Amino acid sequence: MYSAVAGAINHPDALNPYQALFNFRMLDALSEAGVDLDTVSPRPFAPPIGPYSSYRSIPLREQWGPYTLHHPRFWYLLPKRLLYAASGESYARRVPAYLERELAVPDVIHACHIYPDGYGLLPYANAHDLPLFVVAHGKLLNNLGDLPPTVDGKVRETLDEAAGVLCVSEALEAEAARHTDPSKVTTVPIGADPEKFPVDEQSRLRAELGIDPDATVVLFVGQFTERKGIEELATVLPDLDLDSTEFVFVGHGGELEEELKRAVADSGFSNRHVYTGVTSLALRRWHAIADLLVLPSHAEGRPTVIYEAMASETAVLASNVDGIPEQVADGETGVLIPPKDLPALRGSLETLTADRERLREMGEAGLERLRANDWTWASHAERVTELHRAALETATPVDQSVPR
């Protein structure tokens, strides 16, 4: 095949094994496709004491699935809103130097984020005349005009220098094409693998977790933040009067975590189902148990959690923003509502939770849609390797269109 070095500042590690699992799944799929892969996931220099001192325990390298994960140190400076550009500059100095010392020169550089991964690996790619691919997930490109000018310039430089810009949605592809050569921008969907979700064990899992077999289970998965619509959910929960309904919230922290917990406590729903630090296995079980995924986000790419809902035959109630309408067929696999629309969120929750049969039909249609579009990790890896190989076969820009 060929060799690659991937950059993924957001990646699970020994200290935070459940963060950014989508990047692990992406890179795991590339390894399974035959790519000889090493991954750099830089970690900050840690102080000897204080809340960030635990980063000192992260090893310089560890085996993560089929590939080696390297943790070179760099200066990640706070507050982020003021010093994010300086952190990117430290990445661009220290990580390429680490690669020169520790690894053989690969064939391809694959950055899991435009910034800081793509920007930080750009000097190394240029020094060795390697094609650099960057992945666009949504948050950065959707907020490009609001970034500090110094960061904005680094993002634009990376987009211009990259051999390929791989977007997780068509909406992001259109946005990226506004900022760089459209011929090197393409949509490469991520996905989920249905065989990993124990849907056939739903009854047993509900019994184990003390969930009424006849209850409608509404699941939220994501950070407890404003962008994910937690404020809207916290507002409507105390006023909802839904028969035989359980809400389950799975996240990894966020500034609205306490507000959400208070709202659940003030509602008529159980407050024992707000979780952080849930393992991948446990999360797949919750997907298998759930009847409805709720995701009232303000902005997204194509959220992994929606692919996972489709893989587990779970209906979706989500905002009609960015790439979500590309995933959810409104009225068929779920229901789409405007972001920040409290009456629509409240009304849709009331209507959908009252009809489990309709939710079941939507869930089945979602799985059919996932399979029809081949939205799996193996297919993602196949599309990415096609683009990598095309770049290796020619030194000139190539048409990177792939089936969607």
pLDDT in tens, 134-147: 999 887 887 777 88
319 phi, psi to nearest 5 deg:
-75, 150
Query: In this model, does residue 332 exceed pLDDT 60?
Result: yes
pTM: 0.90
Rounded Cα gap, residues 310 and 192, in angstroms: 8
Q: How many residues does the chain have?
A: 404
Q: What is the mean pLDDT of residues 214-233?
A: 96
Q: Which segment of 86-90, 141-145, 273-277, 362-366 scores lowest on mean pLDDT?
A: 141-145
Which domains are present in the chain? Answer: 3-191+376-393 (3.40.50.2000), 194-372 (3.40.50.2000)
- Of 278, 281, 306, nearest to 16 by C-alpha is 278
- Copy the structure tokens of residue 114: 């435009």
**The pLDDT of residue 403:** 41
Q: What is the mean pLDDT of residues 348-369?
A: 97
CB 95, CB 40: distance < 8 Å: yes
